[in-house]
Amino acid sequence: MANLFQSVRGFNDVLPADAAAWQQLQRVAAEVFASYGYGEIRLPLLEHTGLFKRSIGEVTDIVEKEMFTFEDREGDSLTLRPEGTASCVRAGLEHGLLHNQQQRLWYAGPMFRHERPQAGRYRQFHQLGLECYGIATADADLEAIAVSARLLRELGLSGLTLELNSLGSAEVRARYRAALIEFLQRHEDGLDADSQRRLHSNPLRVLDSKSPQTQEILRGAPAIVDCFDDAARAHFDAVQQGLADLGIACTVNSRLVRGLDYYTSTVFEWTTTQLGAQGTVLAGGRYDGLVEQLGGTPTPAVGWACGVERLLLLQKALGVPTASGDAHVYFCWLGEAAQRAARRLAEQLRDALPGLRLVLHAGGGKLAAQLKRADRSGAALALILGESEVEAQTVQVKSLRAGDAPAAPEFVAWPELASRLAGLLKQSEPR
């Protein structure tokens, strides 16, 4: 026999046992985004490579070593999107959504980065993201963070830390850059190779280094707040004041710079200690320069993205109950008359009870074999229709939940079946 194909390394299947939790997360997110007036934008998976080089920055991990880039049949260089913001700005400019307007947008979907796969880090992973355009004041930073806080809360995720920093204006960063280079040069020998290389090309990136030795050196590095001008300080204060007003606790982390070059001013990350090294579940910030950099008029912007797999892992780690896609009801039948009646009844039940997940037995077999399938389906209830029930126009309803006391068989008349099932399922379903 030929060898079986396997999925590409770092590209995962989501199986039905897990898909319900994904669907629930997506549903909750769509509701949270809508509750703040954000509209969904659906973006393509493939873009011209230049878009990401120009936006994310040439000297970043993503562009230097993580992109899936290839030439298509016409010789154009294309890249599977590693993130959503660049595409969102590209689409906003292409369709005239950004000029002199305020836009509240969100997106969801797979992203692609050629990283070393491990728990919480994959080559195809999924993000939910939000982008807000046209608002220069701290209102937008605060709104973006408030949406993220609500989303995490509604997903049952607690114990997360909000880390906050500001990268100030271009002038602030230029001043800071000089101070940082001066500091790093004094410690150059102790830095990891990547950081030594970036010391001059992109010194802020060094703050993002994952090398413990470099991080140790950085403890003594100058903090960007010390280079703030009045405007940067006022904006940062307004964000912190607003968070306090909303009761959202945060920790200022002066080394937080984010792995993409387009950020200006506010940056933030929600982190957890529950997922080992992959502790950042949601991250974002202000990127006031990017729209202009991609050919638009100067447009203030704020956004964030979260890693769906990491949110799901965190739900598991915290024991948050999530939706199951299991059937509610498994419908057994014995004999041809019962099969025909069961088909009709099953359709009537699906009409009467929207959201009902009912599996109609197929293929015949003895009752014991059918009930075994019913058990394996995860259904809470089995319906049993035999010849005598067809005659009496009833159905036997049987609980399949282990732990439920074996009750006397209950026979329900066909016209009452839908309301009886609704009552029984309400008792047995958490939500």
Nearer to ligand ATP, 98 or 281 (CB): 281
Token reading at 385: 């229709």
Nearer to ligand ATP, 281 or 294 (CB): 281
CA 209/CA 218 separation, integer angstroms: 10
Exposed (0-12), middle (13-18) or buried (19+): which is 95, by Cβ within 10 Å? exposed
Stretch that binds ligand ATP, among 217-225, 302-310, 332-340, 417-425 (CB under 6 A): 302-310
CA 164/CA 142 separation, integer angstroms: 12
83 contacts ligand ATP (rule: CB under 6 A):
yes
**Nearest C-alpha neighbor of 355 from the set 382, 395, 328:** 328
**Nearest-approach distance from CB 127 to ligand ATP, in angstroms:** 5
Nearer to ligand ATP, 272 or 377 (CB): 272
- Element (DSSP H or E) covering residue 131: strand 124-133
64 contacts ligand ATP (rule: CB under 6 A):
no
CA 127/CA 85 separation, integer angstroms: 11
User: Which residue's beta carbon is nearest to the bound ligand ATP?
Assistant: 307
- Element (DSSP H or E) covering residue 316: helix 308-317
Phi-psi region of 363 (alpha: psi -120 to 50; beta: other; left: phi over 0): left
167 contacts ligand ATP (rule: CB under 6 A):
no
**Nearest-approach distance from CB 386 to ligand ATP, in angstroms:** 51
**Nearest-approach distance from CB 299 to ligand ATP, in angstroms:** 21
- Are 400 and 375 spatial neighbours (Cβ–Cβ below 8 Å)? yes
Q: What angle do CA 212, 215, 216 make, to 5 degrees?
A: 85
Nearer to ligand ATP, 305 or 358 (CB): 305
280 contacts ligand ATP (rule: CB under 6 A):
yes
- Element (DSSP H or E) covering residue 359: strand 358-360
Q: Which residue has the tokens 């194909």?
A: 5
Q: Which of residues 95-154 bind ligand ATP (CB under 6 A)?
A: 113, 115, 120-122, 125, 127
Selected binder of ligand ATP within 222, 259, 296, 378 (CB under 6 A): 259
283 contacts ligand ATP (rule: CB under 6 A):
yes
3-state secondary structure of 193: helix
Stretch that binds ligand ATP, among 230-238, 273-281, 336-344, 396-404 (CB under 6 A): 273-281
Selected binder of ligand ATP within 250, 281, 334, 358 (CB under 6 A): 281
55 contacts ligand ATP (rule: CB under 6 A):
no
**Nearest-approach distance from CB 120 to ligand ATP, in angstroms:** 6
CA 386/CA 337 separation, integer angstroms: 8
Residues that bind ligand ATP (CB under 6 A): 83, 113, 115, 120-122, 125, 127, 259, 278, 280-283, 305-307, 309-310
